[in-house]
Amino acid sequence: MAAAPVRRYDPERRQRIIDAAIRVVGAKGIAGLSHRSVAAEADVPLGSTTYHFKTLDDLLVAALRQANEAYAPALALRGGEDLAGALARLLGELLDADRGRAELEYELYLAALRRPALRPVAAEWCEAVVAALSDHTDPVTARALVAVMDGISLQVLLTGTPYDEPYARDLLTRVLRPT
C-alpha cells in the first residue's frame, strides 16, 4: 500500500501565488495569465493556485488589491508646499520610481473594463484616493484631481514621454483654482 502524500505546511503559499501572478502580468500581460503560468512562476503545484483562487478573476482581484495598497502612499505636504505641488511631486515619484510597476498597476486597473469582478476593487482604489484628497479639498474637486492624475499617468505611460512635473502642477493648479 502506498503511503499518503505528505502535506507541506506553507503559510506563505497564497501570497507567493499573488506575487507570481503580478510578475506574470508584468511580463506577459493579462492575456498571459493562467493558473498554469502562475503555478510555474510561484513554483507550486497547479492545484494550489486553484485551491486558493477558484477563478482567474479571483486571482486578479487579489493582485489588484495588492497593487492598490502599494499605490496609495500617504499624501504628505512638505513645508510650504501647496496641494498641486505635492500631487505633482507624488505623481512623478510614482511614475519615475518604477515605470514597469506603474504600467502593471494600470493594466490591472484597466482590466476592470472587461472583467466585472475587478470593478469593485478598482472603485475602492478611486474612492480611497478621493477620500485622502478630500482631507485637503472638497469631494468634487478631489474626484477631478484623480481624473487629471489618471489622465496624466496614462499619457506618460502610453506615449513613453518623460513625466513633466511643471506641466502636471499647472494642470492640477487649474483644477484647484480655475481661471
Averaged pLDDT score across all residues of the chain: 87
- Fold of the 75-176 domain: Tetracycline Repressor; domain 2 (1.10.357)
| The three cell numbers locating residue 13 | 503559499
Contact 24, 33 (CB under 8 A): yes
How far is Cα of residue 80 from the mean position of the Cα atoms in its chain? 30
Q: What are the grid coordinates assigned to 65, written together?
A: 488589491
- What does the domain layout of the chain look like in residue ranges? 13-54, 75-176
Q: Are 125 and 66 in contact (CB under 8 A)?
A: no
% of the chain surpassing 70 pLDDT? 89
Using 50, 70 and 90 to split pLDDT, how confident is the model at 81?
A: confident
Looking at the domain covering 13-54, what would its CATH class be?
mainly alpha
Q: How confident is the model at residue 1 (pLDDT cuts 50, 70, 90)?
A: low
Select the highest-mean-pLDDT range: 62-66, 74-78, 108-112, 171-175.
171-175
DSSP string of 118-147, one letter each residue: GHHHHHHHHHHHHHHHHTTS-HHHHHHHHH
Look at residue 6 in the predicted model and tell me its pLDDT. Answer: 46
Average pLDDT over residues 151-165: 93
Quick: pLDDT tens for 129-141. Answer: 888 888 889 999 9
Distance CA 102, CA 94 (A): 7
Q: What was the pLDDT predicted at 4?
A: 44
pLDDT of amino acid 84? 94
* 69: pLDDT strictly greater than 80: no
Please say whether the beta carbons of 147 and 166 come within 8 A.
Answer: no
Mean pLDDT calculated for residue range 62-68? 84
Burial 67-88 (b: 16+ CB within 10 A, else e): bbeebeeeeeeeeeeebbbbbb
- The model's pLDDT over 15-60, given as tens digits with 9 standing for 90+, comes to 999 999 999 988 898 889 999 999 999 999 999 999 999 999 999 9
Reported pTM: 0.78
CA dist 58 and 48 (Å) reads: 14
Integer angstrom CA distances of residue 41 from 52, 61, 151? 15, 18, 33
